[in-house]
Amino acid sequence: MAVRLLATRDSGILTDEALDFLAELTRNHRPRLEELLRRREAVQARYDAGEKPRFLPETVHVRESNYKVAPLPKDLLDRRVEITGPVDRKMVINALNSGSSVFMADFEDSNAPTWHNQIDGQRNLRDAVRRTISFTDPKSGKSYKLKSKTAALMVRPRGWHLPEKHVLVDGKPVPGAIFDFALYFFHNARELLARGSGPYFYLPKMQSHLEARLWNAVFLDAQALLGIPRGTIKATVLIETLPAAFEMDEILYELREHSAGLNCGRWDMIFSYIKTLRKDPAWVMPDRGVITMEQPCMRSYSLLLIKTCHRRGVHAMGGMAAQIPIKNDPQANEAALVKVRADKQREVRDGHDGTWVAHPALVTVALEVFNAGMPAPNQIGKARDDVQVGEADLLTVPKGPRTEACLRHNCVVGVQYLEAWLGGLGCVPLYNLMEDAATAEICRTQVWQWLRHKARLDDGQVLTADAFGRMLDEEMGHLKGQLGAERWARGHFPEAIRLFREFSTSATLAPFLTLPAYERLHETPMAKLPLHARSRHAAPTAVTCSAVVTDNAVPEGHKGLHGFLYGEKGADVHDNAEQQYVLREGEDDGTTLVGVDSFVAEREGERLTGVYALYDARRSLQYVGYARSIVLAIKAHRGRVGEERCALVRAMVFANKSMASRGHLVEQARRWLDKAGTTPPGNGVERELWEGATMVAAMSAAEREEHEGRALKLRKAMGENLGDDVEGEEPSARERRLNLIRAVEGDDWSSVVDGQTTETVAPELVEAQLRAARNPIATPFAHASVHRSIGNSAEAPAPMTPEAVEKALDEVRPYLIADGGNVEVVGIDSGVVMLRLQGACGTCPSSAGTMKMGIERSLKAAFGGALKGVEQVDSVETSATAAAVDAHLDMLRPAITSYGATVQVLGVEGDECRVRFDGPPPIGMGVKAAIKDKFPDIRTVTLVAS
């Protein structure tokens, strides 16, 4: 199977040759990576059972040997100050011009891995290597370009654990680490060598020397494939996990042909201490602010790193100074610089060969310290034979207080970083520090650890989930006041708060927050639907519409229902070939933004059917929906989210409101969302909030009485035994009966009307449906519904985007879930929709029939000739955390809700997932199957009733 792209292709970066190179590396090394990731879980299970990290007895021969790493190239001999940062264009230029020795361009912790960020970053680095990079600030007009002398360039790809979901090789996502490395190496290795440098890397998040061995294999393979001399690649490994601290010698040995030393990843190390020893109550950490490099375990780790590197003839790099200039407070700024100088003086005295800074303004500060303390290019000759570090030294518990102030600060920093990351920013200035993902990891794991072990704070209170929830809510209220309503409304705060709460309170600690959060990463900023200026005072226009289904054409068994739907007079209202419907020109055609107050006031009491979009007072799109009564729907939304979020509306009212099929309404709403170019909060992260609004709650007393009367009337017309199973009932008859029940319970008759329209327009299709009903796989969707004109002219099929396909599949999903299965959209490539069947559907021997006979037909009806086919791809293993399970269920909730069911993840503990579920048992079984199929580690799904 060829490489498949699930996103826009950049012809300059994603060339055929580059993709072939990527595919070759992926096929050669992904199997071993998958083994190593499973090994991580097995090792962590031993730690959870009480085992502690240790120096490996099986590699003592490596530690006692006299090996040396290969000589370093000239431009990596002096690395006294290195600056790090994301790969956006302006940052790349400023960092290379900063005066530092090295710029580490980061695809990892200071980068949010949106498709745009990853590809744009590769393009920026390609241009930087060729010195053609430039940038003009669109606001200031200031231009940026490279100076004659620039820093050496190193690149940090993502860690082994992160996938690149937008590119599939043989039906599975490529590892993010290989994706980042392969594209940079392919496009730049030869160019760098021609310019007197080379392909240099930083390698993050490794947990054993076996993972370093895998990197070495990738390096050897890549160099051979491109004809680059062996050993050209050089890489510095960040020692930022506790297990890796016990294997520094072994890691250098595995990479000895390609090694450029080790680095103290101090912030991730704190996170790793908490994560690795999470079950040990003796290892409950103090406030993160007191876990400095002076703590015995941290100091032992840095000294051991220096001794190990210098013994092997290579650099020992110091850690990050995260401070940034405090421009409006000179006194506070100087106090911060004093801390930076003291930290750098400790590093150079101990023997580090260089250090890290996060901001160009700190380059000079760090240079002054290292120039004074290290006049030579490095101090690799400083052996530090005096350092003796044992296992106990690395496992000394840090001392210090545990305060409520730290807990609250963790909440504020963690949520703000997550909010920025979800919006595509991975490097965030917060409270005079430049924060990246490591900070958020410390914040959420420390809260989780304190809650799990019921930590006693220094004021005597024992931390509980309720207390944490209260503090989080209070801090978010304060934060909203500080940032302002506008910033809050256009951000991703509700989703970030929910994620932080889930990460902090889940039964099992998620290994990395970026894994489940990656599924919720927003690719583009908020956009607005197009608006067209029209007069709000144009005269009403008479609109002529075609005749629709009447009682004369309705099957005999449905005339009573048809009469009920269209009022006491039944078909008398519809028998004429033409009917006059009054629309407000410029207001009811979906082209003009109107104030909600005036819209509702002018149409009070009218039952308008159509599609609508709601905007806040700043004209930012909040929600796109459809309704049988737009006025009631808007009133219901206002009751849920407030008037400010529902200040403006544009609506397209269907001329023949009674016969507007649900399929047509959904199609129009889908097109509006496609034109928006992004997902509004009400259709995405806040979907439950917006769509939880019920029109019944917004009705007046008279409207509610009429509504209840209509429901009662239909129940009587249908008969009292409609809910009873009928022995020997044909599948089609049972489906019709259940459809009527859903119409009553949900007050939505559209699917019933669609069925009548189908029978009237194309009765030959009914027989086809009955024949297909004998095959349980194809029954629910053996053919697409056929709709006649309903007053608005037919339009071309909607653009076939992944979002549009997801919505089209909502018609199919309830049936799949009821049968214990589901379907997930993986992506689209050249008109071929790639899908992943899950649960019973994925394991069923007739899955190909499901795909072809059912799903493909439904998509063909929605997208016509744009669909070239459907293709099934393999399942992808995902870490089983409460947040990840909840993210997976987000895709299923619309279908689950359509059956009157609700689902909420309570937690994941070991191999059991507990879920609060209320609804029909078949749907519950489908939820179980969907979770277990997506998360192989979950063997038991327990449904708990409310």
Q: Which two tokens stand for residue 542?
A: 């008479």
* 242 contacts 268 by C-beta, under 8 angstroms: no
Name the residue type at position 846.
S
Q: Which two tokens stand for residue 33?
A: 């990576």
Rounded to an integer, what distance in angstroms lies between the CA atom of residue 653 and that of residue 629?
10
CA–chain centroid gap for 237, Å, is 27
* 247 contacts 209 by C-beta, under 8 angstroms: yes
Helices (H), 864-907: 882-898
Rounded to an integer, what distance in angstroms lies between the CA atom of residue 230 and that of residue 34?
26
Tell me the Cα Rg of the chain.
Answer: 31
Rounded to an integer, what distance in angstroms lies between the CA atom of residue 42 and that of residue 862?
46
* 260 contacts 315 by C-beta, under 8 angstroms: yes
* 161 backbone dihedrals φ, ψ, rounded to 5°: -80, -15
Task: Name every residue whose Cβ is closer than 8 Å to that of residue 310 and which is 6 or more positions away in sequence.
Answer: 316, 351, 379, 380, 381, 382, 383, 384
Rounded to an integer, what distance in angstroms lies between the CA atom of residue 924 and that of residue 907?
17
Rounded to an integer, what distance in angstroms lies between the CA atom of residue 735 and that of residue 773?
10
* 209 contacts 251 by C-beta, under 8 angstroms: yes
Rounded to an integer, what distance in angstroms lies between the CA atom of residue 734 and that of residue 783?
17
Write out the H or E segment, with its range, that includes residue 411: helix 404-422
Query: Strand 4-5 to strand 163-169: parallel, antiparallel, or no bridges (unpaired)?
Result: antiparallel
* 250 contacts 63 by C-beta, under 8 angstroms: yes
Rounded to an integer, what distance in angstroms lies between the CA atom of residue 628 and that of residue 611?
9
Q: Between the CA of residue 463 and those of 273, 276, 627, what are the distances in Å?
A: 21, 22, 46
The catalytic residue among 80, 123, 156, 444 is 156
Q: Between the CA of residue 669 and those of 585, 610, 678, 784, 916, what are the distances in Å?
A: 20, 9, 13, 19, 31
Rounded to an integer, what distance in angstroms lies between the CA atom of residue 737 and that of residue 536?
45
CA–chain centroid gap for 383, Å, is 46
Rounded to an integer, what distance in angstroms lies between the CA atom of residue 122 and that of residue 133?
12
The catalytic residue among 10, 109, 268, 436 is 436
**Residue 436 is among the residues annotated as catalytic for this protein:** yes
* 661 contacts 628 by C-beta, under 8 angstroms: no
Q: Which two tokens stand for residue 435?
A: 């924060």
Name the residue type at position 606.
E
- Cβ density class 457-478: b for 16+ within 10 Å, e for less: beeeeebeeeebeebbeebbee
Rounded to an integer, what distance in angstroms lies between the CA atom of residue 544 and that of residue 765?
30
Which residue in this structure is represented by tokens 């049936």? 815
847: helix, strand or coil:
helix
**Residue 458 is among the residues annotated as catalytic for this protein:** no
Strand partners, 169: 172
872: helix, strand or coil:
strand
**DSSP state at residue 736:** H
Q: Where are the beta strands (DSSP E) in 512-601?
A: 541-545, 579-583, 594-595
Task: State the burial class of residue 341 (Cβ atoms within 10 Å of its Cβ: 0-12, 13-18, 19+).
Answer: middle
Rounded to an integer, what distance in angstroms lies between the CA atom of residue 124 and that of residue 105?
10
* 439 contacts 268 by C-beta, under 8 angstroms: no
Which residue in this structure is represented by tokens 């059956």? 899
Q: Report the catalytic residues.
A: 156, 436
